[in-house]
Chains A and B, each alone.
Chain A
Amino acid sequence: MAFKQVSSPHAHAAQNTSQVMKLVLLATIPGLAALTWQFGWGSFINVVLASVTAVCCEAAIVKMRGRSISFYLGDYSAVVTAVLLGLALPPLAPWWVVVVGTVFSIVVAKQLYGGLGYNPFNPAMVGYVVLLISFPIQMTTWVAPLALLPAGAAHPGLVESLQIVFAGYSPADGVTGATPLDVFKHSSGLLVDQVYDREPLFNQAMFAGAGWEWVNLGFLLGGIVLLSQRIFTWHGPVGMLGALALMSIIFWDSGSSSSPGSPLMHLFSGASMMGAFFILTDPVSSAVSNRGRLIFGALIGVLVYVIRAWGNYPDAVAFAVLLANFAAPFIDNYTLPRTYGHTDRRRATEKEED
Chain B
Amino acid sequence: MSRTWVTPGGVHPPENKHQSLTQPIGQLPIPEKLIIPLSQHIGAPATPCVEIGQQVLKGQVIAQATGVVSIPMHAPSSGTISAIEHRPIAHASGMLAPCIEITTDGADTWIEHEGISDYEHISPSKLIEMVGNAGISGMGGAGFPSAVKLNPGRQRPIDTLIVNATECEPYITADDSAIRERAGEIIEGIKILSAILDHPTNIMIGIEDNKPEAIAALAPHVEDSGISVVVFPTKYPSGGEKQLIYILTGKELPAGKLPADEGMICINIGTTYAIKRAVIDGEPLISRVTTVTGDAVGTPRNYDTLIGTPVRHLLEHNQFDEQAGGRVIMGGPMMGFTLPSADVPIVKTTNCILAPSYAEIPDDDPAQPCIRCGMCAEACPVSLLPQQLFWYAQAEEHDRLEAHNLFDCIECGACSYVCPSNIPLVQYYRAAKGDIRKAREEKVKSDHARERFEFHKERIEQAEREKEAKRAARREATQQAKADHLAATASGGAAPSAPATATPASAVPSSSAADIIAAAQARAAAKQANPEDQRAKLERTIASAEQRLKMAEEKLAEAINDDSGKQDKLSAAVENTRQKLEQSKSKLAELAE
Which residues of A are interface residues toward B (Cβ below 8 A)? Answer: 1-13, 15-20, 71, 75, 77, 115-118, 230-233, 283-284, 286, 288-290, 293, 332, 336-343, 346-352
Contacts and interface: CB of A to CB of B under 8 A. Distances in A.
A296 to B, nearest CB: 12
A89 to B, nearest CB: 24
A347 B387 contact: no
B232 interface: no
A340 to B, nearest CB: 4
B338 A15 contact: no
A289 B417 CA distance: 19
Contacts of B14: 11
A340 B381 contact: yes
B41 interface: no
A340 B404 contact: no
B341 A1 contact: yes
A282 to B, nearest CB: 8
Contacts of A289: 377, 385
Contacts of B370: 117
B365 to A, nearest CB: 7
A284 B371 contact: yes
27 contacts: A1-B341, A2-B341, A3-B341, A4-B327, A4-B363, A7-B426, A8-B337, A10-B327, A10-B356, A11-B413, A13-B13, A18-B368, A71-B366, A115-B369, A230-B378, A231-B373, A232-B374, A283-B371, A283-B373, A284-B371, A288-B385, A288-B387, A339-B382, A339-B384, A339-B405, A340-B246, A348-B400
Contacts of B388: 288, 332, 348
Given A8-B334, A342-B255, A288 B372 contact: yes
Interface residues of B, number: 75
Given A340-B246, A340-B252, A340-B383, A4 B372 contact: no
Contacts of B382: 339-341
A15 B361 contact: no
A233 B9 CA distance: 13
A346 B333 contact: no
A8 B425 CA distance: 10
A16 B368 contact: yes
A342 B402 CA distance: 13
Given A7-B337, A288-B385, A232 B329 contact: no
Query: At the interface, is chain A mostly helix, strand, loop or mixed?
Result: loop
Nearest to A349: B403
B364 interface: yes
A5 B338 contact: yes
Contacts of A350: 403
B417 to A, nearest CB: 5
Contacts of B411: 8
B87 to A, nearest CB: 15
Given A118-B369, A290-B377, A11 B387 contact: no
A115 to B, nearest CB: 7
Given A12-B422, A337-B383, A346-B403, A3 B338 contact: yes
A342 B255 CA distance: 6
Nearest to A281: B373
B420 A336 contact: no
Nearest to B387: A288
A230 B381 contact: no
Nearest to B431: A7
A289 B14 CA distance: 28
Nearest to B14: A11
A230 to B, nearest CB: 7
Contacts of A283: 371-374
B408 A351 contact: no
A16 B365 contact: yes
B416 interface: yes
B340 interface: yes
